[in-house]
Amino acid sequence: MSLATNLPRVGEGNINLVQLSYRDYLSVEEINAIEHEVAILGQRQAAGIEAMKLVQKNRGWISDDCLYAVADLLQMPASQLEGIATFYNLIYRQPVGRYVIHLCDSISCHLTGFAQVSEAIKEYLGIDYGETTSDGMFTLLTNACLGSCDKAPAMMIGEDHFEHLTPQSATDILRQLCAENDKDELNLRE
| Residues forming the site for ligand FES (CB under 6 A) | 104, 106-109, 145-149, 152, 154
Q: Strand, coil or helix: what is 135?
A: coil
d(CA 145, CA 143): 6
Q: How far is the CB of 160 from ligand FES (least distance, A)?
A: 14
Between the CA of residue 55 and those of 51, 81, 84, 148, what are the distances in Å?
6, 14, 15, 28
DSSP codes joined into one string, 106-123: SHHHHHTTHHHHHHHHHH
Residue 143 binding partner per list other proteins, ligand FES, none, with a CB distance cut-off of 5 to 8 Å that depends on partner kind: other proteins
Q: Which is nearer to ligand FES, 149 or 178 (CB)?
A: 149
d(CA 67, CA 78): 7
Q: Which is nearer to other proteins, 6 or 45 (CB)?
A: 45
Q: Which is nearer to ligand FES, 4 or 111 (CB)?
A: 111
Q: How far is the CB of 103 from ligand FES (least distance, A)?
A: 9
List of residues contacting other proteins (CB under 8 A): 40-43, 45-50, 52-53, 83-84, 87-91, 102, 105-108, 110-112, 143-152, 156, 159, 161
Residue 52 binding partner per list other proteins, ligand FES, none, with a CB distance cut-off of 5 to 8 Å that depends on partner kind: other proteins
The answer to whether the Cα torsion of 49, 54, 57, 62 is positive or negative is: negative
Q: Which is nearer to other proteins, 11 or 42 (CB)?
A: 42
Helix (H) / strand (E) element for 101: namely strand 99-104
Cβ atoms within 10 Å of 81's Cβ, excluding its own: 23
Q: Which residues contact 21 (CB under 8 A, 6 or more apart)?
A: 72
Q: How far is the CB of 148 from ligand FES (least distance, A)?
A: 4
Is residue 126 within 8 Å of 132, Cβ to Cβ?
Answer: no
Q: How far is the CB of 100 from ligand FES (least distance, A)?
A: 17
Q: Which is nearer to ligand FES, 54 or 109 (CB)?
A: 109
Q: How far is the CB of 119 from ligand FES (least distance, A)?
A: 17
